[in-house]
Amino acid sequence: MPSSTVAQTPSLSTYLKSLKHNDIETSIELFISLLKRRQIKNARPCAIATINLLLRVVGESRIRDAQQLIERIREVGRRLVAAQPREMTVGNIVRRVLEAVREVAERDQDAANGGDSGSISMPSTPISGEPQRRPDYRSRFSEFTPLQGISTQPQDMYARAQAPGERPGTSSSFMDNVAQRPPMASSVASYAGQAPSTTSLFSILQQHPPGRSPFATPPTGTQSPALKSSPTRSEESGADKFDMKAEAINSIQDIQQELDDVDNEISEFAQDHIHNNEIILTHTSSHTVQKFLMKAASKKRKFTVFHAEAYPNNHLETYATIINGGSANSQDADERWKPLTSMGITVILIPDSAVFAIMSRINKVLLAPHTVLANGSIVAAAGASTIALAAKTHRVPVVVLSGVYKLSPVYPFDTDDLVEYGDPGKVVDFQDGEFMDGVDVVNPVYDHVDAELIDLYVTNLGGCAPSYLYRIVADHYRVEDIDLSAKAEAEVEGG
């Protein structure tokens, strides 16, 4: 008798179920296969799959030494990033997990040395005195990514080697003066976090206590859960053994919880940015944007939404979002949400070609990115660049809604490598063979939007300007983990 079992299409839900019974190596190879075949795609599904896989890698690993555990996570991360380099949230989550493991190892080492296990030591910020020379940047690209025009380390065109015997500040040229700057007040140095620093009046009037620098940290109470200290060593008695592995798992679970709560946390800022009688333009069927608008509607705000259809790659999901809520291909109840019209919001669907015509009536533009880059630019669904350019022409503010997990420490030196191209048959039917023989049809899935076209970012940590993102990068990533292909330095001893 034939089996009645129906084979399920590979997806995020089927992969998470397979993690429960497959061994680690099989789960890694399966995830790599799903990434290459684009059966798991987009930022959130890739981030959820990656954090669940790394949680199993750490949980079932017999490694007790911190450095060996870091090497294991880096090795898995290199394989995942090489499988699909344009899904940058995969590398972001790997780096976040590495940062969490390193922080746990440092707390363990501080406790073993009799120090405070809940703090991270850092050099004090120089407030006065001779300016220190800014370290030279390395310019090597990752060997594990085909995106040749993208680097995880910015190129400093002004930095040069100082001649022997030359004293700082004695150079007469402008370029020499630019090369000498005081270091940033950042607790976690990062290539992506290096930016021109300035002396703050606050730092002169108040000496901040040791720990994470307030200049590189969001306001109190808004820090990512993975950065909060939660040592497992007993404060009353030092006899308990510090379980580095268990503490690392707790930190990874904090990141996992952050992914679950990110949309709700972003939506809490809706009433600060959406006001009565506003006309808002949005794009694509983003869950983050929908929750943001619904939260504003629940606060009795009356406004109108113009929804660009995002043809030809996302228009079916956009139609389903406006009419029914949720995604057209979603079968999971937790991925569905109410349509905006059920909240009393007036929603008008427009073609992408009508964006410039109605932009003069728009008060605010909301965009949901695929990836946020370290310089403040974004990679978003095709059509976002046109919307941002039209908004700049009409002086309309552009607000980007994004979780911190989408923020990548990658600098885009060649934006063409960031653009992924989809099925050209969605633009022109292959049945039109005569027409197809005479033209080359391209279908870009994503657009690159420059930081100059963006006015504000709203993350789960709060609102910030594009120029502030490098500070958040410095808080969430370690310098030694920016380039996953580089040989790790053995600076962390076993926990």
Q: Give the per-residue pLDDT at 207.
A: 46
Q: Give the per-residue pLDDT at 423.
A: 84
Distance CA 371, CA 263 (A): 16
Q: How far is CA 63 from CA 66, 68, 371, 460, in A?
A: 8, 7, 33, 33
Distance CA 388, CA 171 (A): 43
Q: What percentage of residues in the chain have a pLDDT greater than 90?
A: 44
Q: Looking at 113-243, list the stretches that DSSP marks H as alpha helix, in order from N- to C-terminal side.
A: 174-179, 201-205
The more confident residue out of 285 and 258 is 258
Q: Give the per-residue pLDDT at 418.
A: 83
Section 366-374 average pLDDT: 94
Distance CA 431, CA 26 (A): 41
Is residue 419 within 8 Å of 412, Cβ to Cβ? Answer: no
Section 346-368 average pLDDT: 94
The more confident residue out of 183 and 384 is 384
Identity of residue 28: I
Residue 309 burial (CB count, 10 A): 22
Q: Give the per-residue pLDDT at 147.
A: 57
Lowest mean pLDDT among 328-342, 353-367, 406-420, 442-456: 328-342
What are the backbone dihedrals phi and psi of residue 152, each rounded to the nearest 5 degrees, phi first?
-90, 5
Section 259-286 average pLDDT: 93
Q: Give the per-residue pLDDT at 337.
A: 66
Section 43-61 average pLDDT: 93
Q: Give the per-residue pLDDT at 131.
A: 46
Is this structure's pTM higher than 0.75?
no
Confidence tier at 483 by pLDDT (50, 70, 90): confident
Q: What is the CA radius of gyration of the chain?
A: 24
Q: Decide if pLDDT at 214 tops 50.
A: no
Section 347-361 average pLDDT: 94
Distance of CA 436 to the CA centre of its chain: 38
Q: Decide if pLDDT at 311 tops 80.
A: yes
Q: Give the per-residue pLDDT at 441.
A: 83
pLDDT tens column, 123-155: 444 444 444 444 444 433 333 344 555 555 544
Highest mean pLDDT among 60-74, 309-323, 446-460: 446-460
Q: Decide if pLDDT at 474 tops 50.
A: yes
pLDDT tens column, 71-126: 999 999 999 999 999 999 999 999 999 999 999 888 888 877 765 544 444 444 44
Identity of residue 367: L
Is residue 448 within 8 Å of 377, Cβ to Cβ? Answer: yes
Q: Decide if pLDDT at 219 tops 90.
A: no
Domains and CATH numbers, the chain: 12-120+222-261 (1.20.120.420), 268-464 (3.40.50.10470)
Q: Decide if pLDDT at 194 tops 70.
A: no
Q: What percentage of residues in the chain have a pLDDT greater than 70?
A: 67
Q: Which two tokens stand for residue 44?
A: 């959130």
